[in-house]
Amino acid sequence: MEFLPIFSFISLLLCLVLWQVSGEPVEDKEALLDFVNKFPPSRPLNWNESSPLCDSWTGVTCNVDKSKVIAIRLPGVGFHGTIPPDTISRLSALQTLSLRSNVITGHFPSDFFNLKNLSFLYLQFNNISGPLPDFSAWKNLTVVNLSDNHFNGTIPSSLSKLTQLAGLNLANNTLSGEIPDLNLSRLQVLNLSNNNLQGSVPKSLLRFSESAFSGNNISFGSFPTVSPEPQPAHEPSFKSRKRGRLSEAALLGVIIAAGVLGLVCFVSLVFVCCSRRVDEDEETFSGKLHKGEMSPEKAVSRNQDANNKLVFFEGCNYAFDLEDLLRASAEVLGKGTFGTAYKAILEDATTVVVKRLKEVAAGKKDFEQHMEIVGSLKHENVVELKAYYYSKDEKLMVYDYHSQGSISSMLHGMYHCFSSL
C-alpha cells in the first residue's frame, strides 16, 4: 500500500508527458469553437471538436510544437455581423489575423488589445465603423490593412510608436483631421487615399508619392522638388567649341560602329520577341498577376468589379481568396490547348492546382453556367472543380492538388520502357 502514492505520481507524470507530446492547444481550440459557433460563416468550415486543430482546421496555423495558434486566415468565408467578444482575443500567441473580404460590422473589437503578439492585421473590405483603435497595445505590428471600411475620426498618433511597422493602409474610409507625424524608419508602404483628411503632409512622410494621399484635402506644396544642378561657370557654350572636331577617319569609324550596334540591337529585339512568345506561359502564376500590388498583402486592384471574386462550390473547405492566390508561389505543371495549369502553394501551406484559361471569349453569365456544369461532375476518376474566377482579363479554375504524379509522366515512362526493350 505504501507504493500506491508513488505509482499514482508516476502515472500522473506519464500522462503529463504524453499530453505534452501528442496534445494540442485546448484553450485556443475552445476559443475558436466559441468564435465560429457565435459567428457562423456562410461557407461552412471543417472545425469540430473531434478533429485535430493544428493539422486539419481550415485557415488555422499553429507554432512548431503545436502548443499555440499563431495565425488565423479566413478571408471571404462569409462572416456577417459583429465579431463576438471574448473569442479571438483569447488566442494569446496570435501573430497573424486575416478576416478581410467579409461583411463584418460594428466597431473595432476592444478586446483585441489582449493580442499582445499581433504582427499582421488584415481587416480590409468589411463594414467596420467607428474610430480607429489605440495602436500602442501592439508593439510588434508590422502590417496593418484596415482599408475599405467605414472608420471615422482622426488617425491616432499612437501609430508613431509602432517601430516595426512596414505597411499601413487606411484608404477608402471617412477619416478626418490632420495626418500625424509618423516618424517610422521601417515604413515602406503607405496608403491614406480617399478619406477626408486635411492639412499638409508631415515632413517624415514626404518620401511617399502623392498617390498615397490622393482623394483628400491635403496640401502638396511642401513636397520636395529636385532642382537642376547649376552649370559650371567656366564651361564653354556649345557654340564656342570649335576645337576637338573629329577627323574624317574617326567620323567614319563612329558611323560604322553605330551601324553594327544598330544591327545587333535589331537582331536582339527579334530574338527577344520570339522567345517571349515561347516563354510566356512559363512564367509563374504569381509573377504574372502581381502587377498593381498595393500592400504587403497584395490587394486586388480597386478598378476590378467588386463582384468578381472566387466562387467556391458547396462542400469546399478552402478558406482563401484571389489575393491569396496572387501571393502564392507557383510552378507550371503543364500546358494545353485551353490554358496552363499551375501548382500553387499558399502562405498557410495549402496546395491547389490553378488552371489559367486563355482566349476564352465567353461572357460572365455563359462562363458561370459552364463552370456550374463542370463543378457538378462527380466521378472517382475525375478531379472535382473546387472554385472558379471570372473577370475581363482572367479566367481561373481551382482544383485539389494530387501528388501521385501525372498521367503524362507515366505514359512517357512506359514509352521509354517499351522503347528500351
What letter represents residue 8's amino acid? S
* Same domain flag for 342 and 202: no
* Same domain flag for 184 and 49: yes
d(CA 338, CA 357): 6
Q: How many other CB atoms are there within 10 angstroms of residue 280's CB atom?
A: 11
* Same domain flag for 215 and 341: no
Q: What is the pLDDT of residue 253?
A: 63
CATH code for the domain of 372: 3.30.200.20
Please report where in the chains the cell 482575443 appears, as a residue: 89
Asked if residue 364 belongs to a domain, the reply is yes
Structural domain total, the chain: 2
Q: What is the pLDDT of residue 22?
A: 47
Asked if residue 417 belongs to a domain, the reply is no
Asked if residue 253 belongs to a domain, the reply is no
Q: What is the pLDDT of residue 361?
A: 76
As given in the structure block, the three cell numbers for residue 54 are 493544428
Q: How many other CB atoms are there within 10 angstroms of residue 98's CB atom?
A: 25
Q: What is the pLDDT of residue 364?
A: 80
Give the 3-state secondary structure percentages of the chain, helix then strand then coil, rounded to 5: 30, 20, 50
* Same domain flag for 213 and 336: no
Asked if residue 2 belongs to a domain, the reply is no
| DSSP codes joined into one string, 243-267 | SSPPPHHHHHHHHHHHHHHHHHHHH
CATH code for the domain of 83: 3.80.10.10
> Which helix (H) or strand (E) segment is 151 a member of?
strand 150-153
> What are the helix (H) ranges across 328-379?
364-375
pLDDT tens, residue order, the chain (421 aa): 454 455 454 554 444 444 444 468 999 999 999 999 999 998 889 999 999 999 889 999 999 999 999 999 998 899 999 999 999 999 999 999 999 989 999 999 999 999 999 999 999 999 999 999 999 889 999 999 999 999 999 999 999 999 999 999 999 999 999 999 988 999 999 999 999 999 999 989 999 999 999 999 998 754 444 344 443 333 333 333 344 444 555 556 666 666 656 665 665 565 545 444 434 433 334 444 433 333 333 333 333 344 567 787 766 667 677 777 777 777 888 887 778 888 888 765 678 888 888 777 778 878 887 788 888 777 777 888 888 888 877 888 888 887 766 655 555 554 444 444 4
> What are the helix (H) ranges across 280-335?
285-289, 322-327
Q: What is the pLDDT of residue 322?
A: 75
Q: How many other CB atoms are there within 10 angstroms of residue 36's CB atom?
A: 19
Residue at which a domain ends, from 195, 219, 243: 219
* Same domain flag for 196 and 55: yes
Residue at which a domain ends, from 173, 201, 219: 219
* Same domain flag for 182 and 323: no
Q: What is the pLDDT of residue 349?
A: 62
d(CA 144, CA 97): 10
What letter represents residue 326's amino acid? L
Q: Which residues of 146-156 are buried (b: 16+ CB within 10 A; e: fewer)?
A: bbbbebeeebe
Domain span at residue 400 reads 310-409
* Same domain flag for 212 and 340: no
Bridge partners for 353 per DSSP: 343, 399
* Same domain flag for 209 and 358: no
Q: What is the pLDDT of residue 416?
A: 46
Asked if residue 74 belongs to a domain, the reply is yes
Asked if residue 35 belongs to a domain, the reply is yes
Q: What is the pLDDT of residue 160?
A: 92
Asked if residue 300 belongs to a domain, the reply is no
Residue at which a domain ends, from 201, 219, 237: 219
Provide Rg for the chain, Cα atoms. Answer: 29
Q: What is the pLDDT of residue 158?
A: 94
Three-class secondary structure of residue 216 per DSSP: coil
Burial zone of 404 (CB within 10 Å; 0-12 exposed, 13-18 middle, 19+ buried): exposed
Asked if residue 275 belongs to a domain, the reply is no
* Same domain flag for 176 and 43: yes
* Same domain flag for 172 and 60: yes
All residues at 6 or more sequence positions from 317 whose CB lies less than 8 Å from its CB, including other chains: 44, 45, 46, 58
> Count of H helices and E strands in the chain?
8, 20
* Same domain flag for 215 and 355: no
* Same domain flag for 57 and 195: yes
Q: pTM higher than 0.85 for the full model?
A: no
d(CA 200, CA 180): 10
- What is the CA 49 to chain-centroid distance, rounded? 30
